[in-house]
Amino acid sequence: MKKLTLSIMTTFVLLVIVPMHSKAASEISPITMTANNPVESAHARILLNRLDEINALDKSGLSSSEKKSLRKEARAIKSELKRANGGVYLSVGAIIIIVLLLILLL
C-alpha cells in the first residue's frame, strides 16, 4: 500500500511540475540590453594617451632618475584611472566571511 501511495504521489508531482517548467521555458519576454562599454571622459582619454606615450618612449637614452620619474608618473596615471572607473572590489576573504554570515544568519 505504501508503494502504491508513493507512486501515485510521485506521478502527481511530476505531472504538476513538468508542465510548469515547460510553460516557463516557452514564454519569451523582450529584454533590453545596454552596452557594457564604459563611457570614457576626455580626461581619461588624455591620461590613456599619456600612458601610451610613456610606453612607446625609447628609455635606453634616459638616465635612471628620468626612468624613475616616468615609472612614478605611469603608476600615478594607472591609479587615477582605477579610481575614475569606480566599482566595488571584494577580496576572497571578504566573500568567504559574507557567505559564512549569510549561512549562519539564514
> Is 66 contained in some domain?
yes
Q: Supply the pLDDT for residue 59.
A: 87
13 compared with 53, residue with greater pLDDT: 53
> Is 17 contained in some domain?
no
> Is 77 contained in some domain?
yes
> Is 56 contained in some domain?
yes
> Is 53 contained in some domain?
yes
Query: Count of domains in the chain?
Result: 1
For 2-41, b where at least 16 C-beta lie within 10 A, e where not — what string? eeeeeeeeeeeeeeeeeeeeeeeeeeeeeeeeeeeeeeee
> Is 13 contained in some domain?
no
Q: Supply the pLDDT for residue 51.
A: 92
Q: Give whichever of 20-29, 77-86, 94-103 has the largest mean pLDDT.
A: 94-103
Residue range(s) defining the domain that contains residue 56: 40-85
Q: Which of 46, 53, 55, 43 lies closest to 84 in space, CA to CA?
A: 43
> Is 69 contained in some domain?
yes
Give the rounded percent of residues in the chain with a pLDDT score beyond 70. 75
Reply yes or no on whether the pLDDT at 98 is more than 60: yes
Over range 48-61, report the average pLDDT: 91
> Is 8 contained in some domain?
no
Reply yes or no on whether the pLDDT at 38 is more than 90: no
